[in-house]
Amino acid sequence: MKSKSGKRIGIFGFGCVGQGLHDVLQENPHLEVAKICVKDREKLRTLPTDAFTYDPQELLQDTSIDLFAELISDPKEALLIVRQALEAGKTIVSANKKMISENLPELVALQEEFCGTLLYEAAVCGSIPILRTLEAYYGTEPLQEVSGILNGSSNYILTKLDAEGLSYEQALAEAQALGFAEADPTLDVGGYDALHKISLIAAHAFGALVKPEQVLRAGIQHISKKDINLAQVLGGRFRLVASAKINAHNRLELQVLPTLVFPDSELYYVEAEFNGVALHAKYAGSQFLKGRGAGSHPTGSAVWADVSAALAGYKYSYAKLPKEEEPVQLKIEGEDELQVYLRTPRPELLPQLPWLQLTSFGVDSRNAQLVGTILRKDLLAHLPALKQTAAFIAQLPSYISANQAVNASCQVLEELV
């Protein structure tokens, strides 16, 4: 079908997001879909066979195509596609946060060298226009913090455990069936996906190029009924929260941690696959954006928005990234203290940690719970050993005392008896 704009798009991937984009383009025929590149020749498709190709070069070398959308689940192949498109000076839109966050310096350099364009709004918080907001609105204003719920699947699981009493396995299976989860769901529940997203946010919001090992990261995969009940008795909910924030020493602190949130936080009300991001700017003050963070049409909509913007000549300015001649201003560090809740079914494996304060409770043959205060950098150093104990680790706000947690745990036990 001839499009209104006369422009042609080549799409890589026809899964959850690719189909979402295709649906949106069918209802809004501004662009002609040249072809869709997929992998599996045996898969049943909802479109005729001639809509597809299995050879990426058939799209990449087609000079009649004006721009590409890269929406495949394989980050290595995605990098090859995006690299080739940018080296040819083309415009390409991607949703692949793992690939982009792990290769951002190269992708920025390729855009500069060959004058191509890469946009990736769909890679961060699905339908929420967070990158465009950071770029177009906060390109010059200093930000103090950007934080929130950046992974739809984890949030869906946590909501279902808390509100409907589903088992972890049931909730994860639902998140997968609905198309929210990554091909490897460890990326979601292990906090890696949120790490990729907060790294991209850090680049646009603070001009920081982040290495994964600089981020304090824990996921939700070891959460248990006991933890959910404890949160409920305390009047809170666990959410997987990612944050990038400038601390009192003008250092950037990055973390992805399950966090106990209460009704005084906007994040308490972010449910199911929704995401929510709070921005704290020096002059504008605070803002909160909430919307669907995963799913076919919400993500397809974000890709479509990028496609439309790219056709209108929009590019990221990366205004806050340090220029070659400037030294890197922002150091990533962790001198501050964190209060954490920790429960492990393998207490015998708990490493010796330099706790500043520590209260243990709920210790029996199967579990140990504790609330402790520790320096962020010490927790970062010991996190791999803690993870060996299958521990569930979460940040507790400082206004919750260890005594409150102990009392809540006793109440949970009484209710279970």
Ligand X SMILES: N[C@@H](CC=O)C(=O)O
Residue from 153, 159, 344, 409 in contact with ligand X (CB under 6 A) = 153
Q: State the burial class of residue 205 (Cβ atoms within 10 Å of its Cβ: 0-12, 13-18, 19+).
A: buried
Residues 93-112 that bind ligand NDP (CB under 6 A): 95-96
Residue of 66, 130, 26, 69 whose CA lies nearest to 311: 66
376 and 337 in contact (C-beta within 8 Å)?
A: yes
Decide if residue 56 touches ligand X (CB under 6 A). Answer: no
Distances (CA, A) of 49 to 8, 36, 41, 101, 292: 19, 10, 10, 34, 32
Element of type H or E holding 225? helix 225-234
10 Å Cβ neighbour count for 69? Answer: 31
Residue 129 vs 152, nearer CB to ligand X: 152
Residue 98 known to be catalytic: no
Pairing of strands 274-281, 252-261: unpaired
Q: Which of 90, 197, 226, 320 is catalytic?
A: 197
The span from the CA of 150 to the CA of 294, in Å, is 10
State the minimum distance, in angstroms, from the CB of residue 159 to ligand X. Answer: 12
Residue from 18, 116, 148, 293 in contact with ligand X (CB under 6 A) = 293
Decide if residue 180 touches ligand X (CB under 6 A). Answer: yes
Stretch that binds ligand X, among 19-27, 178-186, 251-259, 331-339 (CB under 6 A): 178-186
Stretch that binds ligand X, among 72-80, 151-159, 219-227, 280-288 (CB under 6 A): 151-159
Residues 54-73 that bind ligand NDP (CB under 6 A): 71-73
Decide if residue 277 touches ligand X (CB under 6 A). Answer: no
Decide if residue 372 touches ligand NDP (CB under 6 A). Answer: no
* Residue 16 touches which of ligand NDP, ligand X, none (Cβ within 5-8 Å per kind): ligand NDP
State the minimum distance, in angstroms, from the CB of residue 53 to ligand NDP. Answer: 9
* Residue 332 touches which of ligand X, ligand NDP, none (Cβ within 5-8 Å per kind): none
Stretch that binds ligand NDP, among 15-23, 163-171, 204-212, 251-259 (CB under 6 A): 15-23
* Residue 151 touches which of ligand X, ligand NDP, none (Cβ within 5-8 Å per kind): ligand X
Q: Roughly what angle, to the nearest 10 degrees, separates helices 104-114 and 75-87?
A: 20
Residue of 313, 302, 216 whose CA lies nearest to 7: 313
Decide if residue 265 touches ligand X (CB under 6 A). Answer: no
Element of type H or E holding 339? strand 337-344
Residue from 135, 182, 271, 306 in contact with ligand NDP (CB under 6 A) = 182
Residue 161 vs 342, nearer CB to ligand X: 161
Residues 248-307 that bind ligand NDP (CB under 6 A): 294-295, 299
DSSP conformation class of 228: H
Say how many residues touch ligand X, by CB under 6 A: 11
Residue 126 vs 129, nearer CB to ligand X: 126
* Residue 153 touches which of ligand NDP, ligand X, none (Cβ within 5-8 Å per kind): ligand X
367 and 343 in contact (C-beta within 8 Å)?
A: yes
Q: Roughly what angle, to the nearest 10 degrees, separates helices 152-163 and 225-234?
A: 80
State the minimum distance, in angstroms, from the CB of residue 9 to ligand NDP. Answer: 16
Element of type H or E holding 226? helix 225-234
Q: Is 13 left (phi over 0), alpha (psi -120 to 50) or beta?
A: left
The span from the CA of 265 to the CA of 290, in Å, is 13
The span from the CA of 135 to the CA of 319, in Å, is 8
b/e burial code for range 93-132 (CB count within 10 A of at least 16 → b): bbbbbbbbbbbbeebbebbeeeebbbbbbbbbbbbbbbbb
Decide if residue 193 touches ligand X (CB under 6 A). Answer: yes
Decide if residue 13 touches ligand NDP (CB under 6 A). Answer: yes
98 and 196 in contact (C-beta within 8 Å)?
A: yes
Decide if residue 83 touches ligand NDP (CB under 6 A). Answer: no
Decide if residue 145 touches ligand X (CB under 6 A). Answer: no
Residue from 11, 17, 200, 256 in contact with ligand NDP (CB under 6 A) = 17
Give contact residues for ligand NDP (rule: CB under 6 A): 12-18, 37-40, 43, 71-74, 77, 95-96, 122-123, 126, 179-180, 182-183, 294-295, 299
Catalytic residue set: 197
Give contact residues for ligand X (rule: CB under 6 A): 126, 151-153, 180-182, 188, 193, 293-294
